[in-house]
Amino acid sequence: MQNVKEYISQHKDRFINELIELLKIPSVSADPAYNQDVLNTADAVKESLEKAGCDKVEICETPGYPIVYGEKIIDPNLPTVLVYGHYDVQPADPIELWDSPAFEPVIKKTDIHPEGAIFARGACDDKGQMYMHVKALEYMTSTGNLPCNVKFMIEGEEEVGSESLAWFVPRNKEKLANDVILISDTGMIANDIPSITTGLRGLSYVEVEVTGPNRDLHSGLYGGAVANPINILTQMIASLHDENNHITIPGFYDKVEELSREERDEMAKAPFSLEEYKAALDIEEVHGETGYTTNERNSIRPTLDVNGIWGGYTGEGAKTVIASKAYAKISMRLVPGQEWEEITELFKKHFESIAPKSVKVVVKPHHGGQGYVTPIDSIGYQAASKAYEETFGVTPIPQRSGGSIPIVALFEQELKSKTILMGFGLNSDAIHSPNEHFGVWNYLKGIETIPHFYKHFTELSK
Ligand code: BES
Ligand code: MN
Ligand code: MN
C-alpha cells in the first residue's frame, strides 16, 4: 500500500491544477447574475467525486441551489464519515482591490506561504478546503486505504445562509446517516501551531430602515427642523454599546454561557502575540468588551457590528440634502446558550423602542443560526488530534473560533452526530476579502492529514 506522502508528491501538480480549474468558475451564490456558474460548479464537483471513487454521486435538487451528494459504502458494519463543504463563494467585491482577478487563480509566494499560495476567491473558503477531501478520497480509494464508509454533502448556499440545506437535511436523514461529520471550512493558528476548531459562533443578521420626511429635502430649508434619518440612525446604532463596549439590548446576555476561570486560563495558553496581531492589521490599539482578552472577544463573547450603512448622497462632489431614508445591515455573533431567533426578536423590540417619534423604524430579520461547541473527549476529536500529531509532529490545540457555520447546529439536531472541524486555513488568508488565498503547503497538508483521521476514527470506533 502506497503511503499518502508518496502519493501526494507524485500527484501534487495535478491536485493543484484541478483546484485551479474549479476556482475559475465564479460560483457567487449571493448574486443571481452568476446563477449558471453556481450550477456549473455543482456539476464540476459531481464529476470530481465520481473520479475520486464514489460509487454513487447525485445532484440533489432543492428549492435553491443543488446539493452534491456522493458516497462510497464499503461495509455497512463499518463507521461512516459524512464530509460537508460548500462550493459557493463570497462575491469578489471590491474587485479593484484585488492584485490579480478573483477568478483567474495565480500562485504567488508570500512571507507566510514561502512555498506559494493560490490567490482566488474561494481558494480557502471553501473550494480549496473542500477539494482536499476529494483528493484524500482519491488517494484512499485508489491505493486500497479507505478504512470505512464515506458520504459527501457539498452545498451551494453556505455564504447566503444554507436555507436549502436546512430544507434538505431533515428530508434525507436516512441517506445522511453517519457516525461523525467532518468539515474543513475553518482555520488553524499557524502552520507550525496546528489547532482544531472546537466552537463556532451563532449569528443573527438584520437590516434596519429609518424613514424621516416623505421625500429628500433641501438641507438648508429644512435642516435643523426635521429629523435627519442618517443622524438618528447613527445615534441609535451608537447607543447599542455602552462605555465598556457591552451591548445594551435588554436581555442580550441573559443566556450567555460564561466560561470558568479554568477554561479561560486554558484558552489563554494558546500562542498569541498582540503586537503581531496589531501590526498585521495596521492598528495602534485593539478594541472590545472590557474584562476580556482579544481572543476571548473574538470567540467566546457575543458581538454586534454594523456590516454596511447607507443613505443620502454618496456620489461625486457635494449635494445639500436631508435624505428621506437611512439603512444599515447589522450582524450579531452569538455564543452557546443564546437562541438566534430570540436575539433577533430582542434586537427588533429594543431598536423600535429607542426610535424617536420623529422617524419610523422597520427591522427586517435576515438569516441566522445557532453557535456550536464540540467536546474534546469524543472519538472524533481524538481521531483528529492523532491525525495532526502524525502529520504535523505536534499535538493540535483546541480553539474556539469566532466565525459561523450555522448549519452545524442543525446537523447535530437532525442527524444526532458531532462535527469535527479540521480547518487548514490561516487568518491571514483573507477569506471574504480581496486577495483571498490558500497556501499550497496547507492544501497538501490537509490532503495528507485527512486519511489519518479516517484510519484513527475507524480504529477508535471498534
Ligand atoms: N467558512 C466560513 C466560516 C468560518 C471561517 C468559521 C473561518 C471559522 C473560521 C463560512 O463560509 C462563513 O463565511 N460563514 C459566514 C456565515 C454565513 C451565514 C454567511 C460567517 O461566518 O460570516
Ligand atoms: Mn466557508
Ligand atoms: Mn465564508
Is 177 in a helix, a strand, or coil? Answer: coil
Is 96 in a helix, a strand, or coil? Answer: helix
User: Active-site residue numbers?
Assistant: 88, 158
Atom of ligand 1 at shortest range from CA of 160: 19
Ligand 1 binding site (Cβ under 6 Å of any ligand atom) = 125-126, 158-159, 161, 185-187, 200, 203, 367, 401, 403-406
Task: Tell me how far apart the alpha carbons of residues 457 and 68 are, in angstroms, rounded to a whole number.
Answer: 24
Per-residue pLDDT tens over the stretch 405-457: 999 999 999 999 999 999 999 999 999 999 999 999 999 999 999 999 999 99
Whole-number pLDDT of residue 76: 96
Percentage of the chain with pLDDT > 90? 98
Per-residue pLDDT tens over the stretch 177-225: 999 999 999 999 999 999 999 999 999 999 999 999 999 999 999 999 9
Of 135, 126, 38, 138, the closest CA to residue 85 belongs to 126
Whole-number pLDDT of residue 2: 75
Contacts for 394 with CB less than 8 Å, ≥ 6 apart: 192, 193, 194, 388
Task: Tell me how far apart the alpha carbons of residues 266 and 202 are, in angstroms, rounded to a whole number.
Answer: 22
Q: Work out whether the CA dihedral 277, 280, 285, 290 comes out positive or negative.
A: negative
Q: What is the mean pLDDT of residues 371-383?
A: 95
User: In the structure grid, which three cell numbers stand for residue 182, read together?
Assistant: 467532518
Q: What is the mean pLDDT of residues 155-165?
A: 96
Can you tell me which residue has the cell 496547507? Answer: 442
Q: Which residue has the least CA distance to atom 13 on ligand 1?
A: 159
Model's pTM, two decimal places? 0.94
Of 429, 432, 423, the closest CA to residue 129 belongs to 423
Whole-number pLDDT of residue 420: 98
Per-residue pLDDT tens over the stretch 247-288: 999 999 999 999 999 999 989 999 999 999 999 999 999 999
User: In the structure grid, which three cell numbers stand for residue 437, read together?
Assistant: 488565498
User: In the structure grid, which three cell numbers stand for residue 248, read together?
Assistant: 445594551
Per-residue pLDDT tens over the stretch 308-333: 999 999 999 999 999 999 999 999 99
Q: For residue 309, give Cα distances in angstroms to 20, 147, 325.
A: 35, 51, 11
Task: Tell me how far apart the alpha carbons of residues 67 and 165 are, in angstroms, rounded to a whole number.
Answer: 7
Ligand 2 (ion): residues with CB under 5 Å are 125-126, 185
Whole-number pLDDT of residue 367: 86
Task: Tell me how far apart the alpha carbons of residues 409 and 412 are, in angstroms, rounded to a whole number.
Answer: 5
Per-residue pLDDT tens over the stretch 111-143: 999 999 999 999 999 999 999 999 999 999 999
pLDDT above 90 (res 289): yes
pLDDT above 90 (res 1): no
For a mutational test of ligand 1's pocket, the pick from 159, 165, 307, i.e. the residue with the most ligand atoms closer than 8 A to its C-beta, is 159
pLDDT-based confidence at residue 233 (cuts at 50, 70, 90) = very high
Is 268 in a helix, a strand, or coil? Answer: coil
HSE, side-chain direction, 13 A CA sphere, residue 331: 14
C-alpha 364, offset from chain centre: 23
Question: φ, ψ for residue 143 (rounded to 5)?
Answer: -120, 10
Whole-number pLDDT of residue 25: 98
Distance between Cα 326 and ligand 3 center (Å): 27
Strands (E), 87-201: 106-108, 117-119, 149-155, 180-183, 195-200
